[in-house]
Amino acid sequence: MENRVVVTGMGVCAPNGVGIPGFVKSLKNQQSGIRFQPELENLKFSCQIAGKPRIDSLNLNEYFTNVQLKELNASGLVYGVVAGQDAWKDAGLTFADKEHPDWDSGIIFGTGILGVDKFREAIYKVDEGNVRRLGSTTVVQTMASGISAYLGGMLGCGNQVTTNSSACTTGTEAVLMAYERIKAKKVTRILAGSCGDSGPYIWGGFDAMRILPRNYNNDPESASRPMSASAAGFVPGSGAGALVLESLESALGRGAKIYGEIIGGNINSGGQRGGGSMTAPNSKAVIKCIQNAVTDANINPNQIDAINGHLTATTKDPAEVQNWSTALNRSGEDFPYINSFKGLIGHCLAAAGSIECVGTLLQFEENQIFGNVNCGDIHPEILEVVDDSKIPQTTLNFAPKIIAKASFGFGDVNACIIFKKI
């Protein structure tokens, strides 16, 4: 018998809310975290807006020691540690003692690029001949696995502690990797999630690709427009999301709160074939990923009440909706409710999937479907597939039982996860 896997703790460091209470309030009330960034204006970016978590009011001594804080210059690592520790505490778990690792707990925490500001700082010191002034934490702040290493040491996890990286699919993939390991009885619980740095060195390449909106610098909250006919590109974002996954047996045994159950999922790639490329998805692979996730969950597609899509506010949004329709064989008024949180937080890149998984599960808690923003002018190609009543413009009182969440990333990679209320 395989383990059933549930989510017992969550933490988030998002542009529109740090901590679960603030985040859920913003999602429910459609409060945006996308703001004008003077730094981007000074650097002559065309897109001068972004979603960046506000952590200035946090007491970081609650998360880091004074020694760790002394040379800390990696925003994504900070976001990840905040979200990760908050999720662990939310699950009612304690840190392992100083002598004995917790052999039953692990970490799978992904990222795209970690510590780019620290890396830039190190490059300047090396070029100036000041190698000895790099400091002792440069390596751990700039290695991709720095986030899982930090969290692993803080929590004292003795099972697998690792980092994955699959572009915008990273967060959802991390959750599914943890799910598979717990289901196979190789571990009792895993802290899963992902994080991403803030700043021009992360966002500059996308600005150069001309795939970010350029005409909303004076109206940031209107810029991110998933499923809209007037969508002009994705707004860059950053942050972290974290979820504690645990066997149902363990969760029940310690009386833990359960946010929902993971009943299935799938990860695949389109191989950059059949229309897929480094930046575009192979629709056949997307459809196959969704269908395989539904099969793995052992449900009928008609049981899915809602979809939290990838839906980045680019020209690919109509194709994504069509792929969902084909995969589930549902359309018009029969289509599930569908939403995207990117209208409020932007596209948080490697952190997107984990932040959005947290938001997806909160809909079970609230008995609501959080509304879409900035898509009063739904793309006509989407309306050919889905009735507009299935794309709620405001938060809807509706108690979903099963929600599908998907992420698609550069490199033609896909992940779809099926959550169930328990």
SS3 405: strand
Say whether domain 267-420 belongs to CATH 3.40.50.360.
no
CA of 288: how far to CAs of 16, 81, 111, 346, 420, in Å? 33, 34, 25, 27, 21
User: d(Cα 245, Cα 177) in Å, to the nearest integer?
Assistant: 11
Question: Would you give per-residue pLDDT tens digits along the chain (422 residues)?
Answer: 899 999 999 999 999 999 999 999 999 999 999 999 999 999 999 999 999 999 999 999 999 999 899 889 889 999 999 999 999 999 999 999 999 999 999 999 999 999 888 888 888 788 888 887 787 788 888 899 999 999 999 999 999 999 999 999 999 999 999 999 999 999 999 999 999 999 999 999 999 999 999 999 999 999 999 999 999 999 999 999 999 999 999 999 999 999 999 999 999 999 999 999 999 999 999 999 999 999 999 999 999 999 999 999 999 999 999 999 999 999 999 999 999 999 999 999 999 999 999 999 999 999 999 999 999 999 999 999 999 999 999 999 999 999 999 999 999 999 999 999 99
User: d(Cα 397, Cα 377) in Å, to the nearest integer?
Assistant: 22
CB 12 within 8 A of CB 238: no
CA of 51: how far to CAs of 179, 193, 361, 363, 404, in Å? 29, 18, 21, 22, 24
DSSP labels, 1-26? -PPPEEEEEEEEEETTEESHHHHHHH
* Domain regions of the chain by residue span: 5-253, 267-420
Rounded to two decimals, what is the model's pTM?
A: 0.97
Strands 260-269, 5-14: pairing kind: antiparallel
Angle between helices 352-366 and 170-183 (to 10 degrees): 70
Lookup: tokens for 115? 């510590």
> 5-253 adopts what CATH topology?
Peroxisomal Thiolase; Chain A, domain 1 (3.40.47)
Q: Do domains 5-253 and 267-420 have the same CATH topology?
A: yes
For the chain, give me the number of helices (H) and strands (E)? 15, 15
| E strands in 183-288 | 189-196, 239-247, 260-269
In which element (H, E) is residue 308 found?
Answer: strand 306-308
- For 119-148, b/e burial (b = at least 16 CB within 10 A) is bebbeebeeeeeeeeeeebbebbbbbbbbb
User: d(Cα 416, Cα 296) in Å, to the nearest integer?
Assistant: 11
User: d(Cα 53, Cα 33) in Å, to the nearest integer?
Assistant: 8
User: d(Cα 359, Cα 343) in Å, to the nearest integer?
Assistant: 13
Provide the terminal-to-terminal Cα distance of the chain, rounded to the nearest Å.
19
Phi, psi for residue 67 in degrees, rounded to 5: -65, -45
Lookup: tokens for 41? 């204006």
CB 172 within 8 A of CB 309: no
